[in-house]
Structure 1
């Protein structure tokens, strides 16, 4: 029989484990900025590895020169994006009154009243319509203030973050062999080859994936921008940029982008007549965005992602759907990289499993 002393020791041990886990989580919370820097640096390292190898193998750069050149390449892209987008986004953001919640509330109410008048002119009771649609009579956008203040805070700390990320990325690229050797020493001898093969494949596939993601966002941004410019929407650049960034969230992101594009398009044309100007332009923009999403969902995304991680488009869709149901939007964002990692380890450690053979035949 288990005596009281054994039970007490078990309880103390369990409580101790819980306390240590809580302290570990709290510590991770305190250093969340450092964790973000490490994750971003790891992503840049994965993207930079093919560039580094190209410079060394094709252009005969030495390792340090290739590493510095790769970092300068990243910095030039970041500097170019800052000079291209930030002044325009700040200027057009002011035009959209993105930081003035009171102005947004007033514009939304005016827009609602115009829409109500449009319904009444077509013999539709606007009061009943708004009531059935659960549209409130007043709007509270105070949450936007905190959101944009946090964004501004991030921008103000961007210099420190960029310097930290570049510093970490430099050593990730420069000392990648040293990291590999140290990791190798920590591995069990009987699993060393399998683990190294898995890490090499994961590095290769995720490098291609993140490059493909950047390419997809660029394509979507250009298409969104073309739609907005064709229909004469003001502040087209900032709207296209915001909507393209939302495409990071698979499937749901484009739907949110369409709603945001519709609202911002109506706000940009608020001075015009609702029936003859605001409504038609908004409908045209929505149709244009849907066409872009059809192109992205059926052509660009499946081709880019299926080729980058060697998975079938239907396979990718089902994985995103399942992980999205389990872990929400965050799960959808990390679904493809996580699935790729699991596939690689599955192929290395369980090569005889028929399901894994079927899923990993292309990697």
Structure 2
């Protein structure tokens, strides 16, 4: 091999490495735009069935159907936001009326009752508060800083929402826009395979996100019933937050349960632990666990198994692997990402036995 060939190979490899690093740097810099596109793609996948319904059944033109679909999404988001207002208002009122001595007394009494009931070693609440700097956190001087942070971030949030809605409008209006944009990366001879894979992915993910919305709705209704029965403050908003936690597989329900227990306890702070707080928390926890069992053994197998056509063990392993690789965000995107990988593998790697085995139901 001549020295000229070796030099050319080294230069070519160096150019490729620099190009890849440049591409990664560019993607890192525009990560917010990529997030907007991803959210818009999800909205378009979820809204596509409604757009088709409005066009086919109600004879709306394409633009009007898309506008109405986005208005419905905005209405749903506004409703969700409005449910958070009672909790925010209540917490703001509590902060304005806060009395450290009263809180210390309530926590000390609650700690004493818990320790006596469960025969535990007594924990020094005052020492714990000092160690965790809770008094410093509750210092009203931090409130202006929190308000300034909120105001500075509010503009970015508005910009993000506008960008997502704007992109969603065009993705819903032209169902082939995203496919044609991505088609530029495919070779000429692979365009048909690429289009088949993309169409299949869009169909499966549309059903997956519709199923996800159905799951959250069912959980929200069941949580609301339980929390209303036992008189938890702001039951509707708490139920919605707990249901949204389930978007994070496996870990989300745990966080949701902790959130529900904490709010159930704090909403009854000052009452007797043994006769009021403990029974109410126990009943709410039992109800929460029953709902989770219904979700795990009835909702999820029926909704997700049929929507993405994957075995529950496949889904579990995919969630576990993505979670280890990418953390919480990996848990959220595991199922749609794994579904897309399976469809692409079926189109381009169907000659391999393992691919045939995993994609036989697609």
TM bucket, shorter chain: 0.7 to 0.9
Aligned ranges 1:242-321 → 2 under 5 Å: 242-321=241-320
- What residue in structure 1 maps to residue 88 of structure 2? 90
Instruction: Please state whether the residue corresponding to 2:351 is helix, strand or coil.
Output: coil
Per the alignment, residue 200 of structure 2 pairs with: 201
3-state SS, counterpart of residue 176 of structure 2:
helix
Deviates more, 1:227-236 or 1:332-341: 227-236
CA distance in 1, matches of 2:40, 2:113: 53
The structure-2 alpha-carbon separation of the partners of 1:20 and 1:305, relative to structure 1 and needing over 3 Å to count, comes to: closer
RMSD of Structure 2 on Structure 1 (CA): 3.8
Alignment partner of 1:126: what SS? coil
Label 1:262 to 1:308 Cα distance change in 2 as closer, same or farther (>3 A).
Answer: same
State how far apart, in whole Å, the 2-side matches of 1:253 and 1:20 are.
Answer: 35
1:139 aligns with 2:138: no
- 2:358 is aligned to 359
Cα pair distance change 1:114/1:209, threshold 3 Å: same
> What is the distance in 1 between the residues matched to 2:254 and 2:100?
21
User: Could you tell me the TM-score, scaled by structure 2's length?
Assistant: 0.81
Counterpart Cα distance in 2 of 1:188 and 1:111: 66
Change (3 A) 1:104 1:291: farther
Q: 2:215 touches 2:299 (CA, 8 Å); kept in 1?
A: yes
Deviation of 1:294 after TM superposition, in Å, equals 0.9
| Residue equivalent to 1:21 | 21
Counterpart of 1:163 in 2: which secondary structure?
Answer: helix
Take 2:65 and 2:230, find their aligned partners in 1: how far apart are those partners?
45
Q: What is the alpha-carbon distance in structure 2 between the residues aligned to residue 307 and residue 205 of structure 1?
A: 9
Deviates more, 1:145-154 or 1:61-70: 145-154
CA spacing shift, 1:359–1:148, aligned 2, 3 Å: farther
Partner of 2:170: 171
Q: 1:242 to 1:77 in 2, by over 3 A?
A: closer
Alignment of 1:116 with 2:115, yes or no, is no
C-alpha distance 264-151 of structure 1, shift in aligned 2 (>3 A): farther
**How far apart, CA to CA, are the structure 2 residues paired with 1:46 and 1:285?**
35
In 1, distance between residues paired with 2:52 and 2:100? 50
Cα distance in structure 1, aligned partners of 2:265 and 2:57: 52
Cα deviation per residue 1:288-327 (whole Å; 9 max; x = unaligned)? 1111111111111221111111112232223212322333
Q: In structure 2, what is the Cα distance between the partners aligned to 1:310 and 1:115?
A: 50
CA separation in 2, counterparts of 1:190 and 1:122?
Answer: 71
CA contact (8 A) 2:117 2:274 kept: no
Q: Which runs of 5+ in 1 are unaligned?
A: none
| CA displacement at 1:139 relative to structure 2 | 3.1
Q: 1:353 to 1:77 in 2, by over 3 A?
A: same
1:218 CA displacement = 1.4
Cα distance in 2 between the residues matched to 1:247 and 1:164: 26
- Do the aligned partners of 2:305 and 2:312 also contact (CA within 8 Å) in 1? yes
- Flag the 1:359–1:152 CA change in 2: closer, same or farther, 3 A: farther
